[in-house]
Amino acid sequence: MTIMDKNGQPSRVIKGQEMSHYPEDDSTHITSPTAEFINQHQDTWIVTSEQGKTHGKGHVILLTDNVVISRKDDEKMELQTSILTLDTEKSTAYTDAAVKIVSPYGETNSIGLHATLEDKTINLHSRVKGHYDAPPLQ
């Protein structure tokens, strides 16, 4: 499924290995979903998991099992969790589960987060712990 922006450019692409629609509750189950949030002048964010489920038009997707958020052009930094709610209209993601953010210079752990993908902001909710090794001077 490709969602276009107001200029007719792709802004979100959502695909999966397999999708099954269940008309009785208007749900769709997705195996190995991948969502790309494309911004023509910023990073493209990639969100993957092993399972996904949505209802209705599919604007909100519940991702479960090995959820990973990364930037398309910088795979060195990624966010990992077990469950994540992804709002494709607002380009936000949130969870109350344990979260790990890994980068070349450190690791941060927390319980819960709210991320705004277009603004590149991540708010960690509680029990935040981490370590950071400053990059070498150039």
What digits encode the pLDDT tens for the residues 100-110?
A: 999 888 999 99
Burial class (CB in 10 A: 0-12, 13-18, 19+), 121: exposed
For the segment 82-134, what is each residue's pLDDT rounded down to a tens digit? 999 988 888 888 999 999 999 888 999 999 999 887 777 889 999 999 998 88
Enter the DSSP assignment of 23.
T
Structure tokens at 16: 């999966």
Per-residue pLDDT of 36-67, as tens digits, reads 876 666 677 888 999 999 888 778 889 999 99
User: 2-130 — its CATH code?
Assistant: 2.60.450.10
Q: Which amino acid is at 55?
A: H
